[in-house]
Amino acid sequence: MDSAFGVRLEGLPRLPFSLHDCDSPVAKLSWSDGPGVVAGDEFWMRDEGDLVSVGWAEWASYEVDVRQDYGVVAVTLQVTPLDAAVAFVFSVLPLLLPAWELEPFHGSAVLTPVGALMVLGPSGAGKSSLAAALEGRGFPLLADDTCALDDNLVLWPGPAAINPRWADALQRPVAEYNEKMIRVPELYAGLPARPAAVVVLDVEQGTDLAVAELSLEGRLQGILANARHGTFLLERRRALQFKVATELARLPLASVRIDPARHGPDEVLHALAPWCERVGIPFASPGPGAFLEGSAR
């Protein structure tokens, strides 16, 4: 059955990318849509107990039953059902994950021979571009833009889609969303995986590219800063958020100071290669574009 981030989705319009097959989902949602006028604030998200409302004026309103057994996504839309479904998978569903005891972080992830490599960072930092470059060099994609982790520190895969801003990305384009091209990876890991290491992108205009290792406190702060809408559904997620962030902070973690306007993904991978080799991520020699013996390809 089609799932994203461990949530089974039934009845969605046919998407231009695939979802993963999950035998034991953490929740199930059934899609129901109909046309209507969507008024109100430009963007809103409201927690009303078992019902969560998220939407954009003149786009779509999503009223979601977030009970664990089986819920309904009631969608009022002013756009096509396909556009509304794509927005739900990429932008709405990640906001709801704490309702099902999943903590979402703003990041992308690929699968390495020793576990998931997570790349966290703010919008525009280059997370998707770095994941796209890694996938093109043999690392199957696990998730793009949202990394959803459960109480056991297991990362649940997102859709088989990636949205890099990198103009030279090699993945096949299939649609557009939020001013970015949706691309389909050649290699996709549709099974949950445990993280092995974390990269946090620290954006600073005009900076030189640099890789550093942080104190445990600095690691924890860097991870929590990238909790996706970290205060939404806070009472549901507070304990899990801190627990997951603390466990991630104990993993090998590199902070990369980056100016996305100056530093492309190959430069970042070149700078990261020595650190990855030191912590057991099996890179080949650290030349630009040189990767992985023993990759998943």
Q: Write phi, then psi, for 163 (nearest 5 degrees).
A: -125, 65
Percent of the chain with pLDDT over 70: 95
- Rounded to the nearest 5 percent, the helix, strand and coil shares of the chain are 25, 35, 40
Check whether 182 has a pLDDT greater than 50.
Answer: yes
pLDDT class of 282 with cuts at 50, 70, 90 = confident
- The pLDDT, as a whole number, for residue 297 is 30
Mean pLDDT within 171-197: 93
Residues 216-237: pLDDT tens digits? 999 999 999 999 999 999 999 9
pTM across the whole model: 0.92
pLDDT class of 294 with cuts at 50, 70, 90 = very low
Check whether 287 has a pLDDT greater than 60.
Answer: no
Residues 81-104: pLDDT tens digits? 999 999 999 999 999 999 999 999
Q: What would the two tokens of residue 90 be?
A: 């990429």
19 close to 160: Cβ distance less than 8 angstroms = yes
- The pLDDT, as a whole number, for residue 290 is 39
- The pLDDT, as a whole number, for residue 291 is 39
- The pLDDT, as a whole number, for residue 78 is 96
Alpha helices in the chain (DSSP H): 81-87, 93-96, 127-136, 216-224, 234-249, 265-279
Check whether 286 has a pLDDT greater than 60.
Answer: no
Classified by CATH at the fold level, domain 104-279 comes out as: Rossmann fold (3.40.50)
- The pLDDT, as a whole number, for residue 283 is 64
The domain locations on the chain are 2-100, 104-279
Q: What would the two tokens of residue 52 be?
A: 């969560």
What's the whole-number average pLDDT of the chain?
A: 91
